Amino acid sequence: MTFKGKVKEVAKSKQSPLVLALDFPFEAAENLNNILIKAQRIIKVVHPYIAAVKINHHLTLPLGTFDGVQLLVKQIREQGLLAIMDAKVNDIGATNQTIAEYYYAAGFDAIIANPFVGWEEGLKPLFDVSKRLNRGVILLTYMSHKGAVEGYGQTVVDPYSGQQMPQYVSFAKKALEWGADGVVVGATVPQKIAEVKQILNEKVAIYSPGVGAQGGTAASAMRAGANYLIVGREITMSSDPAEAAQRILYTIKGL
């Protein structure tokens, strides 16, 4: 089964479209083990309410890909969840392929990449290795922070057709053309979610970060067409992460 099929199946069995983002603030070097303990504890209490877990650079940097992070991926998989690496891959093709191979060797089911780098000698090798290993690729299409408009919102000219369009529209079209398993569109811009949804026509899933801490709401993102919600600090920084996850789920039940 493809990653797209796996995440859909897990979300259905868990009755949850939530992807937990394991986001934590900086810790001094002597306290790094605290991060691993905290992450393990949160996965343990939140796993009944989520479908997948997303791990970012600021967790791999202190814990190490084949040390603490691999332990977390093992725990995630043992709970019947999927593990997504938010590497935002954006380099030349040979480098992108090697990055993906290392993360897949650590057990990740999918990787997030940045389409700015293009296809030939860019993301094509990453897609090739992902397909060969039956893993998924999710493309950044419009991020959740305010400055996203400066890059993803700029008007660009398609180098092949000469047509002008917003950058995020171009990226949504590339997601279809390249056979991506998902796209990221911020929950903070529900109108962009709705626009991208029309382009994708249910063929590529939309993952929406930015719920809570960045001002996005679960209900507006889901109404606009998001398939999955990526939620980090609203859960990880809560005094009761399980209750926080349940509360978010409650707000979208019956939409």
Instruction: Answer whether 0.75 is exceeded by the pTM.
Output: yes
For residue 67, the 8-state DSSP code is I
> φ and ψ at 254, to 5 degrees?
85, 5
DSSP H or E stretch at residue 174:
helix 167-178
- Which segment of 14-23, 90-99, 153-162, 242-251 scores lowest on mean pLDDT? 153-162
Question: Which has the higher per-residue pLDDT, 48 or 214?
Answer: 48
Q: How confident is the model at residue 33 (pLDDT cuts 50, 70, 90)?
A: confident
Q: Do 43 and 24 contact (CB within 8 A), yes or no?
A: no
Q: Do 179 and 127 contact (CB within 8 A), yes or no?
A: yes
Q: How confident is the model at residue 255 (pLDDT cuts 50, 70, 90)?
A: low
DSSP H or E stretch at residue 70:
helix 70-78
Q: What is the CA radius of gyration of the chain?
A: 17
Q: What confidence tens digit (pLDDT) does each residue in 93-126 have?
A: 999 999 999 999 999 999 999 999 999 999 999 9
* Domain boundary assignment for the chain: 3-140+206-252
Residue with tokens 């040979």: 94
Share of the chain above pLDDT 90, in %: 82
Instruction: Please tell me the predicted confidence (pLDDT) of residue 30.
Output: 78
- CATH assignment of 3-140+206-252, among 3.40.50.300, 3.30.300.30, 3.20.20.70, 3.90.1150.10: 3.20.20.70
Average pLDDT, the chain: 94
124 is catalytic: no
In the beta sheet, which residues pair with residue 86? 56
Q: Which residues of 50-69 are buried (b: 16+ CB within 10 A; e: fewer)?
A: bbbbbbbeebbebbebeebb
Q: Looking at residues 12-29, what average pLDDT do you find?
A: 91
Which is catalytic among the residues 88, 124, 173, 174? 88
CA separation for the pair 221, 231 (Å, rounded): 12
Q: Is the pLDDT of residue 243 over 70?
A: yes
In the beta sheet, which residues pair with residue 217? none
Q: What confidence tens digit (pLDDT) does each residue in 196-216 have?
A: 999 999 999 999 998 877 778
